[in-house]
Amino acid sequence: MDATKVITETVDRIRQRRTAPLVLELDLTEGLTDRPPTDPLGAVLSMRKTRLTDVLSGLKRARQDSRVKGLIVKIGTNPLGLAMVQELRQAVVRFRAAGKLTVVFAETFGEFGAGTVPYYLASAFERVYLQPSGDVGLTGVSLEQRFVRGALGKLGVEYELGQRHEYKTAANMFTQDHMTEPHRESVARIAESVTEQVVAGIAEGRGIDPAKVRELIDQGPFIGSEAVDAGLVDRLAYRDEVYDEVKRETGEESLLLYVARYHRGGLAKKLPHPGEQVVALIQASGAIRLGRSGRSPLGGGGAVGADTISAALRAARRDDHVKAVVFRVDSPGGSYVASDTIWREVVLLRKAGKPVVVSMGDLAASGGYFISMAADVIIAQPGTLTGSIGVFGGKPVIGELLDKIGVTSETVSEGANAAMFSPSHGFSEAQWARVNAWLDRIYDDFVGKVAEGRGLTRDRAHELARGRVWTGSDARAGGLVDEIGGLEDALELARKRAGLAADAPVRSYPKLHPLERLRPPESSEDRSAALARVRLEAWGPLAQLAGELGLSPYGPLILPGTWTIR
């Protein structure tokens, strides 16, 4: 009898899990990742990291699932980029429009600190709950630029750098001690554009007049009770109280399930069958470099290798099952030559008759824009930072520093310019002329390809270029971006362009089984050539500090410092 009872209870429990109402859950305490694992170590390290694509796909499926009654999201302190937040907001708004309950809970939106972007995400939900001890750090948008010219001068270091053109401000942190007028103009417009987006989103989500939201930003930050009185938060409550309330509304028998687990549970129905036509999703996340993609085993940002991404694009072009490509770009740029290599593969994809739709993440600027501009359609979020169509280059001159610390050097060379890139001395007049010729060649090529890819006159392309960084909304107004939207919109458009069904499967490309990952590629045409490597020379957890110090090794088409708006 006891064994029978155990079996019966087990069967009932399994049946309940298959039929009970579901409340989906998303914990953003550790943030999200917008890049797939590209090597075995990366797959292991990211096993417990929630992927943005899984969340978006899970919420899209849940909109049509009658079992799913609602969504609870916990917002933590790990910052998310503005474009990623807008991607999540869009998914939540669509989920909410399907008649599902949406609830967000935070212990605090900034503990004695800024919390504008996290609160902006929360405002998309039907209900916003805050722990009684928490605050709402709605304080607005601040973009800070540090200048190190004075400090370097004291050390005896000078920079000889050229830039194209006045808005390409990457060199300014080394050559100036303040913002130039074009620099300030560009940054001020970014702050203004982002503020417009945040105000509009909060106003719509909370049902508050936009002018009132602007006033509240100037009055912030808010203690929890003040945030309730201002209409920014619905109620102060602890986690258990929030979950108990949701349980009462959705039914005591309802079950909690993480969105990513829910998504994986539906994959079996969506996997492409042999011979089925698919949309390939290829992701380029990180700084752009020559050679293979890489990532430090110590953490930090990865690198977009031209060989790796080109191999993936090439394989998609040659795969008869791939009918369209969505190219997800989240990159501040890097090497000009590497960017040009990837650009060429995008051009060849289009020539092969396969539509290419670019979906921009938080950043798709400089080299990140270079690899995007040849696509059939470019889709960005309003807060994506893009453009920065320009170039800079030069070197530090540390001869005086070496003298100060008692270091001497001697050079033996054959050729008038053999040592021109040595930091021990400055450029000669003839060498500086060569540097400027190089900068002019890169800028002219960049602007020419922008004009060709975007259907602009060269004069108009130059007007939009000059190194200026734009938000996605401003880039769309200028013609550098075609549509405002996210990855889900890009996939839908790619299916339409390819004449595929609305539910045609999407494949992260190239999808390799374990044996393909283990064996070396037979040639550069082999799909397994599109694998990343673990690189010990990467900055790892010091990547952000390296960016702050201007120590990027990636090349002339890159944004300076850190440009994620959080």
Instruction: Classify 418 as helix, strand or coil.
Output: coil
Inform me whether the pLDDT recorded for 13 exceeds 60. no
β-partners of residue 222 are: 136
Q: How far apart are CA 472 and CA 384, in angstroms?
A: 5
Q: How far apart are CA 349 and CA 127, in angstroms?
A: 45
| DSSP state for residue 50 in the 8-state scheme | P
Instruction: Classify 368 as helix, strand or coil.
Output: helix
pLDDT of residue 537: 44
Nearest to 165 by CA among 468, 393, 378, 460: 468
Give the list of residues 6+ apart from residue 415 with CB closer than 8 angstroms, or none: none
Task: Name the pTM for this structure.
Answer: 0.88
Q: What Å distances lie between residue 251 and 11, 12, 100, 336, CA to CA?
A: 21, 18, 14, 57
Q: Which residue has the tokens 């990180």?
A: 286
The more confident residue out of 106 and 527 is 106
pLDDT of residue 550: 45
Q: How far apart are CA 86 and CA 121, in angstroms?
A: 7
Task: Please count the other Cβ atoms lying within 10 Å of the Cβ belonging to residue 151.
Answer: 11
The more confident residue out of 552 and 355 is 355
Nearest to 119 by CA among 54, 28, 187: 28
β-partners of residue 279 are: 324, 506
Q: What Å distances lie between residue 325 and 33, 267, 283, 472, 558, CA to CA?
A: 21, 20, 10, 21, 25
Q: Which pLDDT tens digit goes with each residue over 284-331?
A: 999 999 988 875 544 445 789 999 999 999 999 999 999 999 999 999
The more confident residue out of 292 and 248 is 248
Give me the mean pLDDT over the 532-542 stretch: 47
What are the b/e assignments for 235-266, b being 16+ CB within 10 Å?
ebbeeeebbeebeeebeeebeebbbbebbeee
Inform me whether the pLDDT recorded for 551 exceeds 60. no
Task: Please count the other Cβ atoms lying within 10 Å of the Cβ belonging to residue 139.
Answer: 18
In the chain, the percentage of residues whose pLDDT exceeds 90 is 64
Query: Is residue 126 packed enough to be buried (19+ CB in 10 Å), middle (13-18) or exposed (0-12)?
Result: middle
pLDDT of residue 42: 53
Alpha helix stretches (DSSP H) within 181-305: 181-206, 210-219, 224-229, 239-250, 259-265
The more confident residue out of 144 and 133 is 133
- pLDDT interval class at 275 (50, 70, 90): confident
Q: Is 168 a catalytic residue?
A: yes
Q: What Å distances lie between residue 42 and 35, 178, 327, CA to CA?
A: 10, 41, 21
Inform me whether the pLDDT recorded for 401 exceeds 50. yes
Q: Which pLDDT tens digit goes with each residue over 194-244?
A: 999 999 999 999 999 999 999 999 998 999 999 999 999 999 999 999 999
- pLDDT interval class at 565 (50, 70, 90): low
β-partners of residue 24 are: 71, 257
Q: Which pLDDT tens digit goes with each residue over 75-111?
A: 988 889 999 999 999 999 999 999 999 999 999 998 8
β-partners of residue 325 are: 280, 356
Q: Is 449 a catalytic residue?
A: no
Give the list of residues 6+ apart from residue 346 with CB closer than 8 angstroms, or none: 313, 327, 356, 371, 374, 375
Task: Please count the other Cβ atoms lying within 10 Å of the Cβ belonging to residue 309.
Answer: 26
Query: Is residue 317 packed enough to be buried (19+ CB in 10 Å), middle (13-18) or exposed (0-12)?
Result: buried
Q: Which residue has the tokens 């969340």?
A: 55
The more confident residue out of 261 and 543 is 261
Query: Is residue 363 packed enough to be buried (19+ CB in 10 Å), middle (13-18) or exposed (0-12)?
Result: buried
Signed CA dihedral, 202, 203, 208, 213: sign only: positive
Q: Please count the residues of the chain.
A: 566
- pLDDT interval class at 340 (50, 70, 90): very high
Side chain identity at 253, as an amino acid letter?
E
Give me the mean pLDDT over the 150-173 stretch: 88
Q: Which pLDDT tens digit goes with each residue over 472-510?
A: 999 999 999 999 999 999 999 999 999 999 999 999 887
Inform me whether the pLDDT recorded for 554 exceeds 70. no
Side chain identity at 27, as an amino acid letter?
D
Is 392 within 8 Å of 162 (Cβ atoms)? Answer: yes
Give the list of residues 6+ apart from residue 208 with CB closer than 8 angstroms, or none: 202, 216, 231
Nearest to 107 by CA among 260, 220, 242, 208: 242
**Catalytic hit among 366, 388, 473, 528:** 366
- At 490, list the tokens: 């890009």
**Catalytic hit among 168, 323, 354, 449:** 168
pLDDT of residue 440: 94
pLDDT of residue 539: 44
